A = this chain, B = another copy of it.
Amino acid sequence: MALKVAEVGGATAPAADPAVAAPARRAPMVAVDAMGGDRAPAEVVAGALLSAEAGISVLLVGQEPVLAPLLDGLDTRSLAASVELLHAGEVVAMDDDPAKSVRRKKDSSLVRCAEAVRDGRADAMVSAGNTGATMASALLRMGRIRGIARPAIVTPIPGPLPTPTLLLDVGATVDCAPEWLVQFARMGAEYARLHHGIERARIGLLSIGEEMGKGDEMRKRTYDLLSREPGFIGNVEGCDLTLGRADVVVTDGFTGNVALKTLEGGMRTVLRLAAEALGLPVGDARVGEVLEPVLGPAVAQYDPDAFGGAVLLGIDGVCVISHGASNARNIDTAIRLAAECAEAGIVHRMKEAISHHGV
């Protein structure tokens, strides 16, 4: 294979294929943790190649001896110019301690990905590996945006409206202070503007009753703070997440993660019940075929497999966290999302929006 294996920490610009004219605007380069995820590296590499075919430059980060054979024959697919390989000797395991692994495995594919973004070598990173370690790598190597105390993962939840409800946080910061939820609201509103063209997002606080004063102590204090934010519509409930009542719903990472996974499990249960009713094995493609005319393609939106990844907001760089079970299609979707965020200048816009609030 004719790919140049980049040097670790090399801050040189990606090697340009002389056969391709320099574009007016360089396509974003996405660093991909090729060793992270249950199906790494094969599915991750396959996903990266799908993105490269779509014109996104990909920096595959991982053990060169393992990755190189997967890239054999790349020249014949004319992708050589879009795919680079960055060797990293170590791998963070799915069950490694997040903080420790970042401290000890300095030459891991995950840490090297974050450094590539920090050093300007890449414009964004994607990992389907250890979620905690991915967050820790991004946080420790790229740092936080000024004015943001803790990062948040934002996830779109489809509803009856053309634009989804953005739920954050869904797992980055499990123990939250009320002030942090206000920051999440501001980041969510800015994300809604950038990605969904919503000029003034309707912001809801996830609670257990619509009236002010419903919820636990943390929620009550957060409600008071959010009342001063533009677009705040008050409390929303779990059932509102799929009803499009708010553009942005804020909560702590613990509650958000439980809600998101409950929703995923519920949707999977519908498919299981359908399979049972049809006398088919669970996961049989015919279930989808029979359901398709009835439920339409919309229900597929809730299929966890359809989610490529979620963006980690509040970090001074673009980081997309992918599901551990991601297949090539999921990885491709995640890389596209990362490239989109980089092209939209999301970090810069986030910084402006936060500083605008007078931190």
Contact = CB atoms under 8 A, between A and B. Distances in A.
Interface string A196-222: 000000000011100100011101000
Interface residues of A, number: 55
A260 B242 contact: no
Contacts of A353: none
Nearest to A131: B209
B270 A299 contact: yes
A171 B208 contact: yes
Contacts of A216: 174-175, 252, 254
A262 B241 CA distance: 7
A274 interface: yes
B258 A238 contact: yes
A208 B254 contact: yes
Interface in A146-185: 159-160, 171, 174-175
Contacts of A255: 254-255, 258
A239 B264 CA distance: 6
B268 A296 contact: no
- If over half of A's interface residues share one DSSP class (helix, strand or loop), that class is named, otherwise mixed; here it is helix
A227 interface: no
> Which of A174, A215, A241, A268 has most B Cβ within 10 Å?
A174
Contacts of A251: 258
Copies of this chain held together in the complex: 2
Interface in A227-263: 237-243, 251-255, 257-263
Contacts of A277: 293-296, 298
A239 B261 contact: yes
B272 A260 contact: no
A238 B251 CA distance: 16
A78 interface: no
Contacts of A294: 274, 277-278, 290-291, 294
B270 A270 contact: yes
Interface string A285-304: 00000110111101100100
Nearest to A158: B269
A138 to B, nearest CB: 18
A11 interface: no
Nearest to A244: B269
A295 B171 CA distance: 32
Given A277-B293, A294-B274, A298-B276, A262 B264 contact: no
A75 to B, nearest CB: 42
Given A171-B208, A238-B257, A273-B298, 9 more contacts: A206-B258, A207-B258, A208-B253, A208-B258, A216-B252, A255-B255, A270-B299, A274-B294, A276-B296
16 contacts: A175-B217, A206-B258, A208-B261, A215-B254, A219-B254, A238-B265, A239-B262, A239-B265, A239-B268, A241-B262, A242-B266, A259-B262, A269-B302, A277-B296, A277-B298, A291-B294
